[in-house]
Amino acid sequence: MQGKYAAGQTLYGYRKKREDKHKMEPDPETAPVVREIFDMRLSGVGVTDIARNLNDRGIGCPTVFLHGRGEAVNRKDGFDRMC
């Protein structure tokens, strides 16, 4: 009701602000990846080709990324592959 961000995890490409955990800001590590995904999609690249491009470059999906940061995820194994 107050418009504050209340979820436990943030969206990929964002992080919680240190001074106020109820506000988000772009994550300097992942925001460029999100921008690149949008740019590729706007230029007509299909989702399968985008995923293949990211995987080939060693950029894992958000779940793999969060697991690597030590955050809780809803996946028990398979972190040795990109997604």
Q: Which residues pair with 16 in a beta bridge?
A: 24
Average pLDDT over residues 64-70: 76
CA angle, 25 as apex, 27 and 74 as ends, to 5°? 60
How far apart, in whole angstroms, are the C-alpha atoms of residue 46 and residue 41?
6
Reported as a single tens digit per residue, the pLDDT across 17-42 is 989 888 889 999 999 999 999 999 99
Residue 75, both tokens: 């996946």
Global pTM reads: 0.73
Reported as a single tens digit per residue, the pLDDT across 41-66 is 999 999 999 999 998 998 888 877 77
